[in-house]
Amino acid sequence: MLAIFSFSSPAAEMDSSNPYQLIHAVADKTFQRLKSEQPKIQADPNYLKTIVDEEMMPYVNYQYAALKLLGPNLRGADKKQVAEFIDEFRAYLITNYAQVLTQYTDQTIQFAPEKNIAADTRIVSIPLEIVDNQRPNIKLEFTLLKNNKTGEWKAYDMVAEGISLLSSKQSEWNSKIRQEGIPAVSQELAQLAKKDIVFEGKK
């Protein structure tokens, strides 16, 4: 239930100036690709990592998310260690999202009505619901950050059934960072990122 920042192709063709339209377009295109490429996905589940890298990551502000995860641990931190943490966090997100996407093949997405956003707004949360006849509906809420220079929006957090990805991981990793340092968590992220994608009930 952790994450499916369902985002899409290619970055240059996607209008990132409106967060509602961005989430709508990206989710639509991602699910279309999941449907059309099921034979390839079933033959090689790790192909989902490629889809995530190509379709999701251009619209995920993983740098901002990683820095928020580090929080107070950024004070006095080695810049190279922080850069490595950001890289490994990105790779972890790809595997994490790819694994979650094994659950989705032919669902319907219900989008929240678009609301007016003030020009000076930098952060907005957009809810949507994934409707699946085979499983209970899943309520998601994407949190996006606006780049003040470019005006573009990118997602940096997702709340699934009331659980924030950032908040849950921050509490999980903060104590380890304090005790063992940033490189220890970076190493853990690297190991998690290398895991193969597995469908439920298969090994």
> Using N-to-C axis directions, what is the helix angle for 79-101 and 62-70, rounded to 10°?
120
For the chain, how many structural domains are there in total? Answer: 1
In a domain, 199, yes or no: no
Model confidence band, residue 108 (pLDDT cutoffs 50, 70, 90)? confident
Which pLDDT belongs to residue 134? 79
Backbone angles phi, psi at 14, to 5 degrees: -100, 130
Under a CB-based contact definition with an 8 Å cutoff, are residues 35 and 135 in contact?
A: no
Angle, helix 79-101 to helix 182-193, in steps of 10 degrees: 30
100 is a domain residue: yes
Rounded distance between C-alpha atoms, residue 105 and residue 32, angstroms: 9
Establish if 200 belongs to a structural domain: no
Distances (CA, A) of 162 to 149, 153, 154, 191, 201: 31, 22, 20, 27, 27
Q: Looking at 1-5, 10-14, 39-43, which range is the least confident one?
A: 1-5
| Mean of pLDDT values over 65-85 | 94
Residue 8 has pLDDT above 70, yes or no: no
pLDDT of residue 202: 59
Share of residues in the chain with pLDDT > 90 (%): 54
Instruction: Tell me the C-alpha to C-alpha distance, in Å, between residue 62 and each of 45, 87, 93, 156.
Output: 23, 9, 8, 6
- For residue 56, the enclosing domain spans 16-193
Return mean pLDDT, the chain.
Answer: 87
Query: For position 100, which CATH number holds?
Result: 3.10.450.710
Within a domain: 201: no
Instruction: Reply yes or no on whether the pLDDT at 189 is more than 70.
Output: yes
pLDDT band at 156 (very low <50, low <70, confident <90, very high): very high
Whole-model pTM over 0.75: yes
What single-letter amino acid sits at 37? E
5, part of any domain: no
Structural domain contains residue 99:
yes
Mean pLDDT of 4-15: 48
Query: What is the signed CA dihedral for 129, 132, 136, 139, rounded to 10 degrees?
Result: -10
pLDDT of residue 5 exceeding 50: no
Residue 13: band (very low, low, confident or very high) from pLDDT cuts 50, 70, 90: low
Say yes or no to pLDDT of 75 above 80. yes
Phi, psi angles (nearest 5°) of residue 9: -105, 170
Mean pLDDT value of segment 67-79: 92
- Please name the amino acid found at residue 164: S
- Asked whether residue 202 is domain-assigned, the answer is no
pLDDT at 147 over 60: yes
Rounded Cα distance between 25 and 21, Å, is 6
pLDDT of residue 153: 97
Q: Is 9 contained in some domain?
A: no
